[in-house]
Each structure stands twice: as structure tokens, then as C-alpha cells.
Amino acid sequence: MPEIWEHLEKIDDYRWRLPKGAKPGMRVDGIIYADEKLLSDIRKDKALDQVANVAFLPGIVNASLAMPDIHWGFGFPIGGVAATDVENDGVISPGGVGYDINCGVRLVRTSLRYEEIKDKIEELAIKLFNFVPSGLGSKGEIRASEKEEKQIMLKGSGWAVSKGYGTAEDLEATEENGAIAGADPDAVSERAYERGKAQSGTLGSGNHFLEVQVIDQVYDADTADAFGLEEGQVTLMIHSGSRGFGYQICDDYVKSMLSCPGKYGISVPDRQLACAPVNSPEAKRYLGAMRSAANYAWNNRQCLMHLARQAFEKVFNMSWQKMGMDLIYDVAHNIAKLERHKVHGQEKLLCVHRKGATRAFPPGHPELPLKYQKTGQPVIIPGDMGRNSYLLVGTEKAAETFYSTCHGAGRVKSRTAAAKAFDANKIISELRAKGIYVMASSRGTIVEEAPLAYKDINEVVNVVQGAGISKKVCRMRPIGVVKG
């Protein structure tokens, strides 16, 4: 069989088609969002093969989609989006959500200006590191009883707010108001309970972070103004997920679904794409457990924001309210959701898998809170710790991706390759020279998360802007970073 890359066709400067004949058994085309330069990075692993494999899923509609931050993952590529028709044999696959269920990001504004705080950035980074537990297996002081653990799965970040770790306004600025309906704590294993019981309010390891940033460029002044943002303003970004709790749930259901393709007569080219019809008992249990993990993750980020607000209060000796530390938005990256979308002009109930992809609803979408009806949904795209991050908004054009866009820069080097290629001391000194103070739980994390281990976020965001599936509002550069 010819190499799959030989089948790729250019649609325009930002889109490429992999025809469904590229692999016998594909039900739909693959569509890859990238420019020529990013396409050369995508060639370095087998992500395109995974785009083709996802196109085998029963009930898949329109196309198997890949965002410009795409890279090789478990089952689905990271940066993959696929929607299946629930009422016409559509399936759900744990590999289409991933191990870090509802890994996501939130952006917090402040009323602080860079010029006012530049002499306290190192102190702030140290205080954040001391206040927020980070690293592999980290445990926090925010503890919940067994009964309360189930409440976290049902209430999500509402549990944290009920304990005084935030406000009702925080919930209004969170996807699903911080708790997706349909969570089923009884579908969660004892092992997952055990792993999650002491991890609320913990950052975790790998690419999770807290980042103090400053807005260095505004692209859409009207929208930025609606969000209360302007150049020179300090912001805080929080990136974490469901920790060991979500990892265990994914692991449990990947294993339990291995028998489902045979049971339901499903043929997929990769066992990591094990799946079940959305309306089957197996899928319903997975959905209940996955939603429990999603709610756990929203609660975790709410707790992390509470701890970060406390750190800011200690450093600047004023309340977080006085510093204007309001949540702009919190959005999930790894999740599958039942949503209504138009397919060939007809509204359908779809199971939308977003694996390393961000929801991007347009202005006027009924699921958006009132304050974002005119602007569209805030879309938060973090970059690496040495370059930039972005705030964008959703667009109507994103209907072609089931209102989805990229979720970050995307790796170009594996953690193992990065560990061999980079030196922690050199990275730290280079970042300091740029005015970026980094705190991490291990030097290994610093090399694994080296800026050059990632694609250039500026190039990635230019593709989604150019394709019209999201619109740039402003850009932030890091000044203080806490890494897991």
C-alpha cells in the first residue's frame, strides 16, 4: 500500500484532505488544519495514520478532523476531533477523550499592571509554588470525605464554591457551569476513588502549569474591552485536569471496552480505538464515569484558582477582589459531549470527541452565558513556557469542526527525546534572560517541557485564525511559571 502521505490533497493554505480511499475501511475523509510548515512537523510521527484510523468509527459524520497542534496519541491523535451520529450506530471511544479527562485551562484577569509588579515576579512565582502542590502523585490540603468525593463528581466546581473556594460568578464563567450533567459515581472503580481522594487542588506533573502572564498584544480591541483586558495587564493561566482519578477511569474503560467491538460487530484498525455504541450499557457506564472525572477536573481547577488567589494576596497584601482577579473562562480539552449540530442541513444529536481540542462556540450560541452572547465563547490556547499564549473567541465558521479549535502548541519532541536534547540549567538561564522565572518540582520536568520540545504557538494560532475557526483577541507572554 502506498504511504498514506501520498494521498494527501491541499484544499487551501490552511486545510488538507486525506481522502477516505487512503485506507480501505475509512468511512469519511480526514481533514487536517495546518500550513506547509506545520505539515512538515506533523510528518515526524504517525498522527496522520491515526486520523485515518479514527475515520473507521461507526457513525462518524463529515470527517475525521485534526487541529494544527496534532501529534501522536493513544488511539486518537492529540488534536483530533470526531463526531458520531448517536441515533445511527454512533460510538464513543475512551481513546477519543484520553487519559487526562477534562485536562483544561482557565484564564484569570487581574487589575495589576506589569510595570507595577515586575520587581515582585520572582517572589510571586515562589509563593505560587509553595501554595500549590505540584509534581507526580502530589497531594493537597483540600481533603474530602468519601461522601464528599461523590459530591465533587456530581457538583464539580460547585463543591469548591460551596466550601468557600470561589464564587457563583466563577461558575458562570466555566464551561457547563463547572459540572456536566449525567455523572455516575457508581460507575467509578474503587481504585479511581483511592487515587483521587487527596488530589483536589493539586497541579500534577508534565505539561500542567500555573503561569503569570502579561498581555503584550491586542488584536481585537472591542472584544478585549468586553473581557476587561488591555495591553500591559497581568493575567493568570491555570492548566490541569482530573489527575490520577481521571487516568484510572480511562484505564479501566479502555480495558473493559476491548471486548465491545467483537460484541457489537465493530471493526477498527487499532485496539486503542475500542468503542461501543453510545446507547449501549457499556457506553452509558463510561459516559457516567467520564463525566464524574470531568467534574472532578473542574473542581480541581477551581481549587487551584483559590490557592493562587491566596498566593497573590500574600505577595501584594490585598484581597483578590481588590486585585480584580475574576475568572474570564474555563474550558475543557479532553472530553466527549452529546451536542446538537447540523449535518448536511439536518440537526443531529452527535457524540463529539475533542481529544486535545477546545470547544469554540460562536456569538449567539444558546449554551453560552449572557455575557458572552455577543462576543462568542472565550477560547484559551496556552503555548510553551518560553513563548506566548492566546485568548481567542469562537466563530460561526467553526461549524465545520463541530465548533472546535486547537488546544495548545503540540509537541514536536517526546519527553524522552527532550530529556536527551536539553539541559535544565541552560533552559532556566535562557528563560531568566527573557524575564521569565520558572519553578518546577523537578529538573526533569524543565527539560521535558523545554520550549523547543513544542511547535511555535504563534504558527499554530495563525492557522486556526486563517482557517476562520477561531479569532484572535489578545496574546500573553509568560513572566512567572510554576510547572508540575
Helices (H) and strands (E) in the chain, counts: 16, 19
Q: To 10 degrees, the CA torsion angle through 164, 166, 172, 173?
A: -160
The pLDDT of residue 245 is 93
Prediction pTM value: 0.95
Distance, CA of 117 to chain centre: 29
Distance separating alpha carbons of residues 188 and 261, to the nearest angstrom: 22
pLDDT for the residue numbered 189: 95
pLDDT at 415: 87
Catalytic positions are: 407
- Look at residue 444 in the predicted model and tell me its pLDDT: 87
Q: What is the pLDDT of residue 223?
A: 98
pLDDT recorded at residue 139: 57
DSSP secondary structure string for all residues of 343-381: ETTEEEEEEEEEES-EE-PPTT-TTS-GGGTTT--EEEE
Phi, psi dihedral angles at 253 (to 5 degrees): -85, -25
Q: In this predicted structure, what is the pLDDT of residue 138?
A: 55
Q: What is the pLDDT of residue 143?
A: 66
List, in order, residues 6 or more apart from 100 with CB less than 8 Å away. 241, 242, 246, 247, 334
Query: What pLDDT sits at residue 460?
Result: 97
3-state DSSP percent of the chain in helix, strand and coil, to 5: 40, 25, 35
pLDDT of the chain, 484 residues: tens digit per residue: 348 999 999 999 999 999 999 999 999 999 999 999 999 989 889 999 999 999 999 999 999 999 999 999 999 999 999 999 999 999 999 999 999 999 999 999 999 999 999 999 999 999 999 988 765 555 556 666 677 889 999 999 999 999 999 999 999 999 999 999 999 999 999 999 888 877 777 887 778 899 999 999 999 999 999 999 999 999 999 999 999 999 999 999 999 999 999 999 999 999 999 999 999 999 999 999 999 999 999 999 999 999 999 999 999 999 999 999 999 999 999 999 999 999 999 999 999 999 999 999 999 999 999 999 999 999 999 999 999 999 999 999 999 999 999 999 998 888 899 889 999 999 999 999 999 999 988 888 899 999 899 999 999 999 999 999 999 999 999 999 998 7
Q: What is the pLDDT of residue 1?
A: 39
Angle formed at CA 360 by CA 331 and CA 106, multiple of 5 degrees: 20
Exposure string over 151-161, b if 16+ CB within 10 A, otherwise e? bbbbbbbbbbb
Residue range(s) defining the domain that contains residue 416: 4-483
Contact 449, 407 (CB under 8 A): no
Pairing of strands 63-71, 29-33: parallel
CATH code, domain carrying 117: 3.90.1860.10
Task: Please report the pLDDT score of residue 443 as a whole number.
Answer: 86
Torsion (CA) 400, 404, 405, 408 in degrees, nearest 10: -160
Whole-angstrom distance, CA of residue 11 vs CA of residue 431: 39
Q: Which residue type sits at 236?
A: L
Q: How far apart are CA 290 and CA 250, in angstroms?
A: 8
Q: Is 26 exposed, middle or buried (0-12, 13-18, 19+ CB in 10 A)?
A: buried
Number of domains composing the chain: 1
Between CA 81 and CA 296 the distance in angstroms is 23
Residue 165 half-sphere exposure toward CB, CA atoms < 13 A: 22
Give the closest residue to 4 by CA, choosing from 41, 35, 47. 47
